[in-house]
């Protein structure tokens, strides 16, 4: 259910190494909890982000939720498509529904996050 090439946070963000640039989004579990996404506020390109700090917001028919930086780094690109098509997050959270890309990331910090098996176990604990 959760891609193996991605690392996960307890706040339900994911991060993937894309050849030295890192792609960030929210997990399918987060999408399921939120329902239909209606708006995504993304960080500014060039912004330095700190691990664990809110860098954006996602709104749905059910709730609004902060999006947190899974690791420290610099925002190198945002997914402009979400401005007019926020439903991409629901349709493809690990693909077309990504939020932003980061550079100046320490790979060692990414590897401290949960892998797919650990995240799946974490989600199962949350549901009980």
Residue 113's Cβ-side half-sphere holds a number of Cα atoms within 13 Å equal to 28
What's the CATH class of domain 7-122? mainly beta
State mean pLDDT over 91-115.
Answer: 97
Share of the chain above pLDDT 90, in %: 96
The owner of tokens 């399921």 is 32
* Rounded average pLDDT over 87-115: 97
Whole-angstrom distance, CA of residue 38 vs CA of residue 111: 32
Does pLDDT of 128 surpass 80?
A: no
How would residue 1 be classed by pLDDT, with cut points 50, 70 and 90? confident
Q: Tell me how far apart the alpha carbons of residues 87 and 102 are, in angstroms, rounded to a whole number.
A: 22
Q: Do the beta carbons of residue 26 and residue 13 sit within 8 Å?
A: yes
33-43 average pLDDT score: 96
Q: Where are the domains of the chain?
A: 7-122
**pLDDT tens across 58-82, in order?**
999 999 999 999 999 999 999 999 9
pLDDT of residue 126: 85
């Amino acid at each position: 259910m959760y891609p193996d090439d991605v690392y996960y946070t307890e706040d339900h963000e994911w991060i993937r190494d894309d050849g030295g640039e890192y792609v960030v989004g929210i997990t399918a579990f987060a999408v399921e909890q939120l329902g239909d996404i209606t708006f995504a506020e993304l960080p500014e390109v060039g912004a330095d982000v700190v691990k664990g700090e809110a860098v954006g917001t996602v709104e749905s028919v059910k709730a609004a939720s902060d999006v947190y930086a899974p690791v420290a780094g610099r925002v190198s690109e945002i997914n402009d498509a979400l401005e007019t098509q926020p439903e991409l997050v629901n349709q493809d959270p690990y693909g077309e529904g990504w939020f932003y890309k980061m550079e100046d990331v320490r790979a060692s910090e990414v590897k401290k996050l949960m892998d797919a098996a650990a995240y799946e176990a974490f989600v199962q604990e949350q549901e009980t």
